[in-house]
Each structure stands twice: as C-alpha cells, then as structure tokens.
Structure 1
Amino acid sequence: MAIYAFWNNKGGVGKSYLTFQVATEYARQHPEKRVLVIDLCPQANSSSMLLGGLVHGEAALDQLSLAAPPRTISGYIEDRVRSPYVSPRSGGHYVVQVSATNPEVPPNVHLVCGDEQLEIQSSRVLGATNPGPQDAWRIVHQWISDLISDITVGWDDYTVFIDCNPSFTIYTELAMAASDRLIVPFTADGSSKRAVRALLALIYGVQRNPGAQISQFYLNTQQFRLTTPRIYAYVGNRLTQNLGPASAFRAVVNEIGDEIFRVWLANPNQFEIHPNGALPPRTRTEFKRMFQYQINDANTSSVVSSTLGIPMHRLVAGIKNVMGRNVMVNQTQLNSLQPNIRDFVQEIE
C-alpha cells in the first residue's frame, strides 16, 4: 500500500491530467490491485476526466454533488466538521466505482469526487483545529487518513492517488498529512521554479535565506510528530514532444532539478528511494535518473483524452467528436505518448 499526492504550489502544471493518466494506467498495469483516487481539488478536474470527460463526467459530478448528502469529498468533510475529533467512520459512503459511469476506465479504479464546496468549508475545517483538545490540529489533519482507512477496510492490496489544489490551504495540508509519497509536476518556466521553492519551504521547512519565516504547517508537523510525504518524483509535464524540451526550457528544467538536488544533499531522508531495494544515488546523474521524469505534450491527443474521459492507453487514432467538432487523433502522437506514460507508471510502486 502506498499513498501518492500530486502537488505543486502552482496552477496549470497538469496535476489533474497527470492524476487521471497515472491512476488509470497504474490500474491497467496492476489489475490485481484496487486503485483509489481522492480528488481534493475544488475544481474537480480529475474527477470529471475519470467519470467521462467534459460532458458526461460533469453530468455525473452534478448528480453526485446533488445527492443528499453529497457523495463527494465535501459530503465527507461535512461529516467530519460535525464530528471533528471522533471519526464517524462514514468514508465508505463517499466512494464510487468509476467504471460504472465511464467504462473506458479499468474496473479496479475507485474515486472520491472533488467538490467546489471545499472552498466554502475550508474556514470551518480550519476552525476545528483550534480551539479544541490539545492535539486538535493533529486529529483534524488525519481526516483524510481516516477516510482512506474507512474505504479500504477489507481491501487486500491497494494504491491511493490524491489530486491536490495548488494553493496551500487547509485541505492541501490534509492531503500532505495523509500521503507518504509526493509527485511534483512542473512546467518549464520560471514560475514553476519559484513554486518548487515554495513547496520545499511549505512542507519541509527549507529556508532559501537565513532567518526566513518557517511555515506553520512544517512547525506543527514537527510538534505533533506527524509524518509528511517523501519526494518520489518531480515530473516535467506538458513539455514539447520533439527530442526533448526546447533548449530554453531545458535550462529551467535543469535549474529545478538542481534546486531539488540541493535539498537531497542536505536531507536525503525527505526522498523515497525507489525501486524497493535500490541504492541511494551518489551523483547528480544518478539522482536525475531516479527522481526526474518527463511527460510529453501530445497536443490534440491529450485534449481529446481528457475532454472525452478516455485514458491514453485506450485512445485510438482517428476522428473523434469533441464538443460537436470533429478532431483527428494522429497515430504518431499516440506512438510517442502512450509508451511515455506507460514507462513512467512502471516506475511507481
């Protein structure tokens, strides 16, 4: 069992798209396992993709969110707000089997849907951390761990993927507290570099400058002995599909890699060595081989896959009807991206 969070302190890096592709490809590669996706992003984009895309997925989301109580993450959070310090053990009510709605997704994928109500609930969740019992902060930050425990009772073997919102709000903190491995998507631009720096500061207390303020989340995890996820991979996402990133972007990718490599040198315990049994990297090259990955941008194929809710491994070449328009999916794009995603997922344990 492993729990992965997809997070970067920046929007537009493809967290939800990567969650969708990785979870479905992982389920295909591991039919003996159950795969649980928890969508902790109010935009619920990964939920929409999993449930069938922009039309069918959104309709399914509306139906789940209008149930009484909502069969979404906000329904569970509402349970916890009413019972903040004692788990109601209600998490199993909020999970759905995705293939019942979208047959393109493997039958071993399960989902707790995202919900825009998370934004409204966030202040109430934060309020539950104080006042309260002496360890209220720790108990509240275990809500998503409780949810996972509720759902997976009786599951023999499973893997969890959590899609996170870019802002470091309370529900992002809950995701970090529930995860044991962190996948960091980024794009090749300066703002991604700054976001990775912010991520390292917010979760791990890495100070860019002496005397810089340390995040309260990091301080509280130390005080309450709450574990945080170890970095498993940082993924250049939506990069050009040529021989590699364009030369101007390659420099930014390398700078981001150097930033994280410096953190490794200072504190390797914040990283998850993989595969199981592998030796820790000794050089920058070995570190890059273990922790740095690239997912190419397939342009049209990526848009069709996410808009129609068809995982990349199920997408075939030809004309697709996308929102009333005929769009051509080229086999050359699929020949590049399908093995690209497959190979990355093979590195996930």
Structure 2
Amino acid sequence: MTVYAFWNNKGGTGKTSLCFQSICFYARHHPNERILAIDVCPQANLSELFLGGLANDGSGKLLERQGTMPRATVGGYFQTRLPSPYSPPASLSAADFITKPHDYNPAVPANVDLICGDPLLELQANAISTLANNQIPGTNAWVAVVDWLSDLIQPLHEQYDTMFIDCNPSFSIYTQIALSAVDRLVLPVMADDSSRRAIQNAFSLVYGLKLPSDIYATYAFATRLTEAGRDLPKVHMIAKNRLTQYMGPASAYAAVLRSITVDVGKLLASNPEIFNFNDVDSGLVDIRDFQTTGVVAFARGCPLYELQAGKLDVMGHRVTVHEEYRLNCVEAMEDLVAKL
C-alpha cells in the first residue's frame, strides 16, 4: 500500500482542492482499488468537500460525524490516544473513525473512505507535544507519539490499496504525526517568491537541509526519525498550481516558476535520495488556475469530471461554467494523476 501526503507549510497554495480532485480522479481511474483519505487539518476543508461542500451542507454533515460516540474524526482518534500515548489501546478499532463520503455526497467515488478532519487538533496540539517530549526510561516518547497515525493505519494495509493524507500548512506536532506515516510527498506551489521560499523551508523542516546550526539538526524531524530507523517520505511530485492562462514566458510569474525548477534541480543533484524521481521534468506538473470552474466545484464538493458546464446555481447565485475551461481543468488533473 502506498501513502501520499499533500503538504506545504505555506498556506494558500490550493493544496486541499488539489488533494480532493486528485483523490477523486485517482479513484475513478482505479475502480477496483479501495482508497482511504485522511484529513489531518483542523480546518477540515477536505472533509467538507467530500461530504458535499458549502452548497450541500458539507459542514453540517461534518458536525454530525464529530458528534458521534466515539467522535468519527482524526481528532476523535487522537482523543483515544491521549490517555494511552505510548501504545495503542487494545480496544482501538479504526472502523470507528471511518466515514463513507459517497453516502453523503454521491458525486464522490464509492471506493473512497474518509477519516474526517477536526478543529480539536489545535486544542490537542499542546497536550500531544508535551507527551512527545516526556523523558521515559526505555521509551522514545517522541517516536511513540509521531507513530499515532501509523498505529491507526497499519492494520488497514490489507483493507486499502492507496491512502491520501491532507496535511495542515504548518509543521506542528500533528503534521509531523501525519508526515511520519507517509511514503510519498506532493508539494503544491504557486508562482510567487513566497512559494519559492516555502519550498526551501519545506526541505529544511522535513529533511533537515540547510539548517542554520547543528543545534537545530539535533532536534530536527529528519534526525529523530532516521535515528529511530524510520524512513522519511520521498518527494514524489511538485505541482505548480493555479497558473494563470495569461502567463507568458517573459512574465514575472514565469520567472519565479523557472527559479523554482532550478532550485529543485539543484536539490535533486545534491540530495537525490529524498526524491522519488530522477529528473526534474518527471517530478513537476503544471496545473492551470481552475478559476470559476474550481470555485463551483469546491462549493458543490464535486469532482471536475462530474461538473456540468453551463449556468449553475451556487448558493442562490447563477454562475456560468464554460465547457472549454472545465475541460482544461480536467486535462490538468489527468496529467497530475497520471504521475501517481
């Protein structure tokens, strides 16, 4: 089983909408596979999308799942681990936390299951960090805590073929818990200087590259995970997301994107072991800005291939989805999913 994560420590890169569309497209192309999506983000936007989006009361349906006993979310699972942080309780059942989104949103492929996100993650973060930093003879507390998600999904390896994790744009303890369970990392970026810096920051945070001092290296995520004999996720793809159709080769946007490509090429040459591709072109994918088409799909919790062109009602407003633009969006997602 392969576990992918969509993550960038910079917000606003379109990570969640890209993750949602990727999961739906992948599931459509692999109807005989069982797929699990895990929303490790306190905003829980991925969950709301899967449950119907803004227009179809996705938030209300998410609240319903948060109100079950036990709470059918990743926060509900973490809640069961707080009293038992260093070994999973014997009574733990992953099925208690899994939702079938197709039952709430028929536009979503029936072969996708979901562990919903939860705002509780922010409230739990301080307690989890404290538990991870405890000094316990004979126990590596940090490793035991960052293994929480691995503990949950390990028994599911025979049940699912592929998993996708949507991570929070941070490097908080729950993000580290998510990334430690991942095989392959998808990094969405945008055509701006902050995205270029975010790429550099991401490689520092996950792989300990270019840290300002050896002091930081001692406590780095990469150091602690590799010392425990665990593998780091490999960068599988960098998605240049939300590209404008008006971007010409001489534009400032294009210059920034070229610089990102150059930066990735240098890292690939100096640290090939952290990548899941051998040349830059095979690891990069361009995603044109979805514009109105993406807004409508997001509002409706709808995969782009299911979205109808024409005039549509979105929260009482008439919005036009142009078929040409919709097909461009579908083509872009097909290119991305072909690399998974």
Alignment partners' CA distance in 1, 2:211 and 2:176 = 21
Q: 1:332 to 1:169 in 2, by over 3 A?
A: same
Q: CA deviation at 1:53?
A: 0.3
Counterpart residue type for residue 68 of structure 2: A
Give the equivalent residue in structure 2 for 1:141.
146
Q: Which residue, 266, 278, 289 being the options, matches 2:281?
A: 289
Structure 1 outlier segments of 4+, above 6 Å? 243-246
* Secondary structure of the corresponding residue to residue 220 of structure 1: helix
Alignment partners' CA distance in 2, 1:28 and 1:144 = 26
Matched, 1:228 2:232: yes
For 1:157-190, what per-residue CA distance to the aligned partner results, in whole angstroms no more than 9, with x for missing partners?
Answer: 5111110111110011011100010000011101
Counterpart residue type for residue 288 of structure 1: V
- Structural mapping, 1:18-97, within 5 Å: 18-55=18-55, 56-88=57-89, 89-97=92-100
Alignment partners' CA distance in 2, 1:60 and 1:87 = 28
Q: 1:245 to 1:170 in 2, by over 3 A?
A: farther
Is the CA contact 2:247–2:254 (under 8 Å) kept in the aligned structure 1?
A: no
For 1:225-265, what per-residue CA distance to the aligned partner results, in whole angstroms no more than 9, with x for missing partners?
Answer: 22211000000111113476772111111111222221111
Q: TM-score normalized by structure 2?
A: 0.94
Alignment partners' CA distance in 2, 1:143 and 1:245 = 46
Is the CA contact 2:51–2:101 (under 8 Å) kept in the aligned structure 1?
A: yes
Stretches of structure 2 lacking an aligned partner (at least 5 in a row): none
Alignment identity in percent? 39
Matched, 1:342 2:334: yes
Is the CA contact 1:241–1:298 (under 8 Å) kept in the aligned structure 2?
A: no
Is the CA contact 1:72–1:112 (under 8 Å) kept in the aligned structure 2?
A: yes
* Secondary structure of the corresponding residue to residue 272 of structure 1: coil
Matched, 1:111 2:118: no
Moved more, 201-210 or 251-260: 201-210
Q: 1:118 to 1:126 in 2, by over 3 A?
A: same
The number of equivalent residue pairs is: 334
For 1:247-292, what per-residue CA distance to the aligned partner results, in whole angstroms no more than 9, with x for missing partners?
Answer: 211111111122222111111111113xxxxxx3xxxxxx232111
Stretches of structure 1 lacking an aligned partner (at least 5 in a row): 274-279, 281-286
* Secondary structure of the corresponding residue to residue 5 of structure 1: strand
Q: 1:179 to 1:320 in 2, by over 3 A?
A: same
Give the equivalent residue in structure 1 for 2:127.
124
Q: CA deviation at 1:218?
A: 2.2
Moved more, 218-227 or 68-77: 218-227
Q: 1:334 to 1:78 in 2, by over 3 A?
A: same
Alignment partners' CA distance in 1, 2:334 and 2:170 = 29
